[in-house]
Amino acid sequence: MVVSKAWTLRQHFQGFPKASDFHLREETLPQPKNGQVLLEAVFLSVDPYMRPYSQTMMKEGDVMIGSQVAKVIQSYNPSFPVGCHVVSDCGWRSHWVCDGAELTPLLPDWPQDIPLSLALGAIGMPGLTALYGLEEVCEIKKGETLLVNAAAGAVGSVVGQIAKIKGCRVVGCAGTDTKVSYLKELGFDQVFNYKTVTSLEESLREAAPHGYDCYFENVGGKFSSVVMPQMREYGRIAVCGSISMYNDTTSQTGPYVHTYMIFKQLRMEGFLCARWKHKHQQSLRRLMAWMTEGKLRCNEHITSGFNNMPAAFMGMLQGDNIGKAVVKVPGQHTARQVYMQCNSTDS
């Protein structure tokens, strides 16, 4: 028998999450049966989507939702031998028993010098989200101008780099000068700190005097209201997130976008990357190829210790991270994790 740790939602968040909203419990797992495997968490993901999803898809007492890179430590399923690594959506758990139906094996030819944690970032859901938002929703073309906000996050930083690979001009914004410097290192054409500029409207106009063909939306709220008048005719908007609104206790209202949508003939579309699940393996290989060719770079903000899951989650929501926020379970990683290859920083 294995005793697993699990973080649960003690009470629904009211405004910004608090440490007291979470509860750490232990649960004894059953012995795996025929066809089942026992997983041990190696890296766990904390992502913005967990905040709104917790409100709509969870009840109090449920284990926090989320993905992890896990190692198979016991197996009665030939598809998942002992020692292999998988991506699992079993939530904030240290161990879990499952039949493998919802497990995603890592790419079989995963390079030795690429951290396995990237399966939760640039070579995982955030990378896929960036790729599909640009190609499937924005249908971005060479020579176009793209705006991406929350640009130093797990998704935004990949969005900008893929757009540059495709020959586009990229404008990004972030909330600290350190993040602005990082985005400039990645090759963004124009970057500014939205918290320190005198006028968001003027900063956007100076960065792209002729307007924006595509807008990758991660923030929502007032930011979007300022962007709409600066979209070019037939512009496309991929709505990935609205992190500025996730912790509101009172819903934000207007200005409204209808007039600009009509007269500029804009197309705005919300999306989830699971829509293109049939493309995932091919898309992950494309992302990995860009990574190994040096065209795609990443930064990870790694917090050590399963007990620090809530702190890592809250830190991510308030913008502590540059790039992907990940929690590492000490002692579980193998020699294949070469953190410095990805500019990781322990916290």
With 50 as the cut, is the pLDDT of residue 342 above it? no
In terms of Cα–Cα distance, which of 92, 90, 102, 44 is closest to 69?
A: 44
Co-location of 129 and 263 in the same domain:
yes
- Contact criterion met (CB below 8 Å) for 301 and 326: yes
Co-location of 78 and 165 in the same domain:
no
Co-location of 39 and 170 in the same domain:
no
Co-location of 140 and 201 in the same domain:
yes
Co-location of 66 and 108 in the same domain:
yes
Q: What is the CA radius of gyration of the chain?
A: 20
Torsion of Cα atoms, 278 then 282 then 288 then 293, to 10°:
-150
Co-location of 136 and 113 in the same domain:
no
Co-location of 57 and 78 in the same domain:
yes
Confirm whether pTM is higher than 0.75.
yes
Please report whether residue 234 resides in a domain. Answer: yes
For the chain, give the percent of residues with pLDDT over 90.
91
- When pLDDT is averaged across residues 305-320 and rounded to a whole number, the result is 97
Co-location of 100 and 219 in the same domain:
no
Tell me: the pLDDT tens digits for 225-273? Answer: 999 999 999 999 999 999 999 998 888 888 888 999 999 999 999 999 9
Please list the residues that pair with 238 across neighbouring strands: 216, 269
Number of domains in the chain: 2
Please report whether residue 219 resides in a domain. Answer: yes
User: What's the half-sphere exposure (Cβ side, CA atoms, 13 Å) at 197?
Assistant: 17
**What DSSP element (H or E) covers 71?**
strand 68-75
Distance between CA atoms of 203 and 259, rounded to whole angstroms? Answer: 23
- When pLDDT is averaged across residues 83-108 and rounded to a whole number, the result is 96
3-state SS, one letter per residue, for 81-113: CCCCEEEECCCCECEEEECCCCCEECCCCCCCC
CATH, residue 144: 3.40.50.720
Co-location of 250 and 129 in the same domain:
yes
Residue 126, both tokens: 């955030």
**51: CB partners within 8 A, 6+ apart:** 13, 17, 243, 246, 247, 317
CATH, residue 109: 3.90.180.10
Please report whether residue 283 resides in a domain. Answer: no
In 10 A of CB 267, how many CB atoms? 14
Please report whether residue 188 resides in a domain. Answer: yes
Co-location of 135 and 258 in the same domain:
yes
- Contact criterion met (CB below 8 Å) for 4 and 95: yes
- When pLDDT is averaged across residues 336-345 and rounded to a whole number, the result is 32
Please report whether residue 284 resides in a domain. Answer: no
Range of the domain at 187: 125-275
Please report whether residue 265 resides in a domain. Answer: yes
Co-location of 61 and 23 in the same domain:
yes
Co-location of 60 and 45 in the same domain:
yes
Distance between CA atoms of 62 and 10, rounded to whole angstroms? Answer: 8
Tell me: the pLDDT tens digits for 171-183? Answer: 999 999 999 999 9
Tell me: the pLDDT tens digits for 115-141? Answer: 999 999 999 999 999 999 999 999 999
State the average pLDDT for the chain: 94
With 70 as the cut, is the pLDDT of residue 341 above it? no
Confidence of residue 333 (pLDDT cuts 50, 70, 90): very low
